[in-house]
Each structure stands twice: as structure tokens, then as C-alpha cells.
């Protein structure tokens, strides 16, 4: 191996010199390959299959363009994400609009733009939508978000009858659901397609999805056989795990897709469901592993128990360690062959004791000016970045065929002042 880490054939030292640090670096080929893999493996002979990229994981115009090029639909959760998708030229019919508290303005923007599908999250939203649609022409498809009482996060999932999640209507509130669907059917312009559920994030267990789909299958059967309500579409959400460190062993994508399609086919057959179409919404698992963050090493210090290595970013460009105790792997990217002899704590430069990117990792001895690469930061890194401590947001570069392209320029100090036009 060379001493300097390369991404898509380009040395990270060259990228640091050209674009500065901190820097989000994406292997574009890896993103596109992942999109193609989802399209290839999420397939059924019985059901029509559709893949939505959950854009909140990493929402910039260039990502939207890649999703479009690879024939993925998009899931957006706000007027801002919708605006980004439309600006990138995405067909509004391929956009699915989520969110538990869409504002009247956001709903209006979505209808105005001709967004294909709204995912209605609660009864109040459903009633507002009916009222809004009765005032206008046009058509919108609707999926109703239900809560199957399965919540999954990393290595655990639980099944409960009483779910206090802020998202979706509990499947146990059958009467409210039936009443709302009746309202939909009485409202011109609303086409009720079926249901949506999303059980969590960074899920490693196939059984979690099998359980979710079995519960949803029984729920669909009851609605169909008791109330004559036919759901033609079922969106089972995202949350598919990725590998952050060697401790993570995500379900390989072919098996994951097969688990979901087989479980849905089985429910259709078992209950004689009217189901025709299934959807999934991967976010993290499309972009996380294609991205890394490159930092420059600054000062170091030795305490009684720790060797600290400080980098020129931190929780402002990656909040996940502070927010979820998320674990990451890293390397000193210009010393790839040096023996890793120093037990190191990698900390950021923000004014918070919790601004630690990696609690403990073995690294080679290094010095100021070295480059540190933190892997698998492609999802929920840039998209959750903040201006905390007035740090300008880093640039984003995409690498493909040995060529680097800046897709988001580094913010300047002047950018930080934008909008501060004080009223007099």
C-alpha cells in the first residue's frame, strides 16, 4: 500500500492542498454502484418494486441528479429538501413528501409543484389535506404512515402494542385509520395508494424487517377483509445498517432485498392481499460508506489517562458521536504504513467536552499538518452540519475516474454573516 490514502485514484494529500480541510470526500462511483445494486436486487416477479433515496441522509443537488440518473425516486421531508430536488430537475411525480408536521405552506408548495405522493403522518394532517384539496384541482397520491409497534435501532428491536412515537398512526387505532381513508376516498383529487412504515435506523437484523412486514400484512388483511379497504402500495421504510467499524456486520444488500421482497410476497399470498407495489427508502446505506471526512491534525496533548489528537473540525461537521455515541474508524491518511502504536483520542475543536470524534483508536505517532481520514461519514455528516462556534461549513468533493469535482464550495466568513441585515 502507498503511504498516502487514495480515493477513486486521487491522493488525499492533493485534495487537501487543493480544497483545504476539513473536507467531505465522496467516491462517486461507489454511490452510483450502490444505487444500481438497489435497483438490481430489489426485485420481485409478483410485486412492482420501487427504491426511494431518503435524501435527508445527504441532500445536495448533485445527489439528487445521481438519484435521477439511476432511476431512483426521492423521499423528502421538508420544503427545503423539496426545493433542492426540484432545482436539480427531479420529476415531481417521483418525489415522496414525508414529515410529521408539514406546514400549510409546505403542503401548498408540494401540491403546486405536482409532487407525486404525500405521506400523511397523522389524522390532523389528513383532514387538513382533504380540506386543502377540496379547494383546488389536480391530483395527489397518498400513503398513510402507520406505526406497527416495531422499533429498531442498531442491534436491538422491540415489538410493543403501545408505541409513543411521534411518527405515524398506531395500527391499533383501526377506526381512526378507516375513517380517514373514507375521507380520502370522498375527496376529489386524493388517490389513496396504501401505507408506509419506518421502524428505525442502522438496523442489523433481518428479523426486524420480517416482523415489521408480518405485522403490516396482518393489518392489511384486516382492513381488506373487514372494511373492504384495498392497499395497493406498501412502503416499508429504510434504516438499513452500514459498516462504521469492524464491529459492524450489515446484512449484505442482496440478502436484505430478498428478505423484504420475500416477506411481502408471502404476506400477499398468505392473506390474499390486493398489494401490487412495494417500496423501500434507503438513505444511509446509499451514501455513508462512499464518504469520508479529511481533517488536518493540529495540537496533541497527553493527560494522565489519554493521548489527545486535535483536528480542525469536529461536532460541527459530524454531530453523530456527540449525539448518539456513534463509533467511527480512522487513519492518519499520509502514514498508511506506519505502525499503529499510540492509543489515541481524536477530538474536535469545538467548545464542548463532548466534542470527541473517536474515543479510542490506535494510530501511528503523528505531527501537526498530518491528515486524518474518518471513514463512513457520507450520511448524516454534511446534512447535520452546523455553524457552531461560527465554523464555516466544509467543502464537498466528488471523485470519479481519477477526477475531483467540488460540488459544494467551502463557506467563507462572509457566508456566515449572510442574512444578518439588521432592521433599523
Ligand X SMILES: *Cc1c(COP(=O)(O)O)cnc(C)c1O
Residues of the shown chain interacting with ligand X in the complex, contacts defined by CB under 6 A = 54, 56-57, 75, 98, 198, 201, 237-240, 281-285, 379
284 labelled ligand-binding: yes
Query: Residue written as cell 419506518?
Result: 198
Q: Which of 59, 351, 366, 406 is catalytic?
A: 351
Residue nearest to ligand X (CB): 283
Phi and psi angles of residue 118, each rounded to the nearest 5 degrees, phi first: -105, 135
Label residue 417 exposed, middle or buried (CB < 10 Å: 0-12, 13-18, 19+): exposed
Give me the least distance between CB of 198 and ligand X, in Å please: 4
Angle at 329 between CA 323 and CA 331, to 5 degrees: 130
Angle separating helix axes 28-41 and 61-69, nearest 10 degrees: 40
83 labelled ligand-binding: no
Asked if residue 63 lies in contact with residue 287, where contact means CB atoms within 8 angstroms, the answer is yes
126 labelled ligand-binding: no
Give me the least distance between CB of 402 and ligand X, in Å please: 29
Closest to ligand X by CB, 282 vs 291, is 282
Closest to ligand X by CB, 94 vs 98, is 98
Closest to ligand X by CB, 58 vs 295, is 58
Give me the least distance between CB of 277 and ligand X, in Å please: 17
276 labelled ligand-binding: no
Asked if residue 191 lies in contact with residue 167, where contact means CB atoms within 8 angstroms, the answer is no
Asked if residue 159 lies in contact with residue 98, where contact means CB atoms within 8 angstroms, the answer is no
| Cα–Cα dist 119/52, whole Å | 13
405 labelled ligand-binding: no
| Cα–Cα dist 391/259, whole Å | 43
Closest to ligand X by CB, 8 vs 148, is 148
239 labelled ligand-binding: yes
Give me the least distance between CB of 284 and ligand X, in Å please: 3
| Cα–Cα dist 400/231, whole Å | 42
- The CA–CA distances, whole Å, from 253 to 35, 36, 57, 136, 418 equal 11, 11, 18, 43, 43
Q: Is position 351 annotated as part of the catalytic site?
A: yes
320 labelled ligand-binding: yes
Give me the least distance between CB of 167 and ligand X, in Å please: 7
Instruction: Note the residue count of the chain.
Output: 424
> Distance from CA of residue 129 to its chain's centroid?
26
Closest to ligand X by CB, 126 vs 282, is 282
156-159 vs 233-235, strand pairing mode: unpaired
Q: CA torsion sign, 295 to 297 to 299 to 304?
A: positive
Give me the least distance between CB of 361 and ligand X, in Å please: 24
Q: What are the cell numbers at 274? A: 390486493
Closest to ligand X by CB, 242 vs 350, is 242
Summarize the annotated binding site for substrate as residue ranges.
Answer: 284, 320, 324, 352, 380
Active site residues: 351
Summarize the annotated binding site for pyridoxal 5'-phosphate as residue ranges.
Answer: 239, 281-284, 380
Summarize the annotated binding site as residue ranges.
Answer: 239, 281-284, 320, 324, 352, 380
Amino acid at each position: 500500500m502507498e503511504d498516502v490514502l487514495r480515493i477513486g485514484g486521487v491522493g488525499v494529500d492533493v485534495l487537501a492542498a487543493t480544497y483545504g480541510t476539513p473536507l467531505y470526500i465522496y467516491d462517486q462511483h461507489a454511490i452510483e454502484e450502490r444505487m444500481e445494486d438497489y435497483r438490481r436486487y430489489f426485485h420481485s416477479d409478483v410485486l412492482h418494486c420501487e427504491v426511494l433515496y431518503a435524501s435527508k441522509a445527504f441532500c445536495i443537488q448533485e445527489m439528487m441528479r445521481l438519484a435521477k440518473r439511476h432511476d431512483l425516486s426521492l423521499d423528502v421531508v421538508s420544503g427545503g429538501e423539496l426545493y433542492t430536488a426540484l432545482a436539480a430537475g427531479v420529476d415531481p411525480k417521483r418525489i415522496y413528501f414525508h414529515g410529521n408536521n408539514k406546514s400549510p405552506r409546505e403542503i401548498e408548495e408540494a401540491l403546486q409543484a405536482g409532487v407525486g405522493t404525500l405521506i400523511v403522518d397523522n389524522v390532523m394532517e389528513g383532514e387538513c389535506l382533504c380540506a386543502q384539496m377540496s379547494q383546488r384541482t389536480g391530483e395527489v397520491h397518498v400513503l398513510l404512515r402507520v406505526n406497527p409497534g416495531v422499533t429498531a435501532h442498531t442491534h436491538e428491536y422491540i415489538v410493543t402494542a403501545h408505541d409513543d412515537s411521534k411518527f405515524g398512526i398506531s395500527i391499533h387505532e383501526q377506526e381512526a385509520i378507516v375513517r380517514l381513508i373514507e375521507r380520502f376516498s370522498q375527496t376529489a383529487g386524493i388517490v389513496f395508494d396504501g401505507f408506509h412504515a419506518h421502524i428505525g435506523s442502522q438496523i442489523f437484523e433481518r428479523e426486524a424487517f420480517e416482523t415489521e412486514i408480518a405485522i403490516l400484512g396482518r393489518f392489511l388483511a384486516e382492513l381488506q377483509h373487514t372494511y373492504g379497504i384495498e392497499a395497493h402500495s406498501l412502503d416499508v421504510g429504510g434504516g438499513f445498517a452500514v459498516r462504521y467499524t469492524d464491529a459492524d456486520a450489515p446484512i449484505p444488500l442482496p440478502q436484505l432485498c430478498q428478505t423484504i421482497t420475500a416477506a411481502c410476497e408471502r404476506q400477499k399470498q398468505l392473506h390474499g392481499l390486493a398489494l401490487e407495489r412495494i417500496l423501500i427508502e434507503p438513505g444511509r446505506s446509499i451514501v455513508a460508506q462512499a464518504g469520508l471526512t479529511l481533517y488536518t491534525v493540529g495540537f496533541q496533548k497527553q493527560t494522565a489517562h489519554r493521548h489527545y489528537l486535535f483536528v480542525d473540525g469536529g461536532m460541527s461537521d459530524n454531530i453523530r458521536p456527540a449525539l448518539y455515541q456513534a463509533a467511527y474508524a480512522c487513519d492518519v491518511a499520509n502514514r498508511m504504513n506506519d505502525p499503529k502504536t499510540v492509543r489515541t483520542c481524536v477530538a474536535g475543536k469545538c467548545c464542548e467536552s463532548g466534542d470527541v470524534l473517536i474515543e479510542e483508536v490506535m494510530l501511528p505517532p503523528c505531527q501537526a499538518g498530518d491528515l486524518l481520514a474518518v471513514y463512513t461519514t457520507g450520511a448524516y455528516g454534511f446534512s447535520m452540519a452546523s455553524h457552531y462556534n461560527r465554523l464555516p461549513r466544509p467543502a464537498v468533493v466528488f471523485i470519479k475516474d481519477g477526477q475531483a469535482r467540488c460540488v459544494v464550495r467551502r463557506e467563507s466568513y462572509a457566508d456566515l454573516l449572510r442574512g444578518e441585515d439588521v432592521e433599523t
